[in-house]
Amino acid sequence: MTMPRMVTLTAAFALLLALTAFGPDFDPVGNDCLTLPEEAPFNYANLPLPLFFNAPPIQGADNTPADNPVTDEGATLGRVLFYDTRLSVNQTVACASCHKQELAFSDDATLSEGFDGEHTARHSMGLSMAKYYPNGHFFWDERSGTLEEQALLPIQDPVEMGLTLDELIYRLETTEFYPSLFESAYGDAAITEDRIARALAQFIRSMVSYQSKWDQGRQQAPPGPPNQGPLPNFTDQENLGKAVFFDPELGNCAVCHGTDAFIASEARNNGLDTDPSIDPGLGGVTGIPQEIGLFKVPSLRNIGLTAPYMHDGRFETLEEVVDHYNSNVQPHPNLSHQLRIGPSGPPRRLDLTEEEQEALVAFLHTLTDEAFIADERWSDPFCGTPSSTLQPLPQQGWTVFPNPASSAFTVRLDNWSGHPAQLRLMNSNGQQLRSWTVFQPVLQLHRQQLAPGLYYLVLQGQNGASTQPIVFE
């Protein structure tokens, strides 16, 4: 009879300590306005995947643990956490700040910017298809053994988000909507670091891209392995690129980017450098000399959206990436055997013709999933950027160049106040196509797959917005 009473008093005392420890320093500025489905959550647990996703090669790569399957309610909670700036110490950045939906949850900056303006040590890789990384390890150097473990590390990182887990739990407990979200996901309102990690992992595992031109072609083609024959919806150039990708005598790219997830089963060295000391990668974690310079191999799905490329973001374009494999693979001591002539021989370089290189790039663009990067399930659930962190912006005081733009363009805030703002790209019908939270005075953005024509950029502060046209050639 006394145990429930003791538990209650203990919990109350713990909460009192939390209030004492964190309360005076916590000034909530996060957005409290959510736009979640009213009647039922979005479908995350049973995505309508193509039949070939059920084939053993891709199903066998699924790293979902038995004790944390994706649920609609759990992924919904993870979605809110993923976009919430409360997860950073000064409430300026969220997970989504470095993993943007319009970029297939990657970052177009070479090194991402943390809460205090410092930069990460490596490029932020795309998160789509994380579910199908077979060994279940994450980060470029695979230092986390599970996605659940990975989910909490950026929050605590002194450069990225800089928050303690105790402070995070307090913040969530004192935010009106979180207890009910945790109750929906887990059956009661208790907020713990384990539950936070599990929800974030569920949301990330739900990020499966399955509606690209490649997927459409696979469904139109006769059943069989993906390397068989041309696809009916591909151009001649794209089918040539497909042949180069799969042919062992040509590109043989599929030897590392296997299954329909286009992802390798383990960390590898792809001959970027000869010097093992530049970045130890996996070897810096394990201490094993043979693993120095090995890095996680991300999925190629949506690769056309995730520039710059490699762990250090050294390549700006897919053409540069293809050129590396075509003629510039370096003889690193731990160069993966897939890129050697013989088990321990010199680097194997593709030596493709110019036509074959261009075709390979065209094929890689067929892996872009426009539906995925616009799907509301994975979008920002908050009504807008927290108004309490925004300052008025002048109607004139920012510049867009070049304009007209062919691919990349720059937005410069000439009267930058240091406070976050919201930038939106709209079409001529007033539909929002993309959005960015602005944390710095200069942004370098990419046109990506947008058709030529007139668009509008809207820069919004607390007391208003200003609009500038941009023309894509």
Q: List, in order of start, the domains of the chain with CATH numbers.
A: 13-209 (1.10.760.10), 225-368 (1.10.760.10), 390-472 (2.60.40.3080)
> What is the identity of the amino acid at 150?
Q
pLDDT in tens for each of the 473 residues of the chain?
Answer: 333 323 333 333 333 333 333 443 445 555 678 999 988 999 999 999 999 998 888 999 999 999 999 999 999 999 999 999 999 999 999 999 999 999 999 999 999 999 999 999 999 999 999 999 999 999 999 999 999 999 999 999 999 999 999 999 999 999 999 999 999 999 999 999 999 999 999 999 999 999 999 999 999 988 878 888 899 999 999 999 999 999 999 989 999 998 899 999 899 999 999 998 899 999 999 999 999 999 999 999 999 999 999 999 999 999 999 999 999 999 999 999 999 998 889 999 999 999 999 999 999 999 999 999 999 999 999 986 443 333 333 334 677 877 778 878 878 776 666 677 788 887 755 667 887 777 667 777 888 778 887 777 888 765 557 777 788 88
DSSP 17-28: HHHHHHGGG---
Q: Is the pTM of this model over 0.85?
A: no
Contact 155, 87 (CB under 8 A): yes
| Conformation bin of residue 302: beta by default, left when phi > 0, alpha when psi is -120 to 50 | left
Token match 């696979």: residue? 218
3-state secondary structure of 237: helix
Burial class (CB in 10 A: 0-12, 13-18, 19+), 125: buried
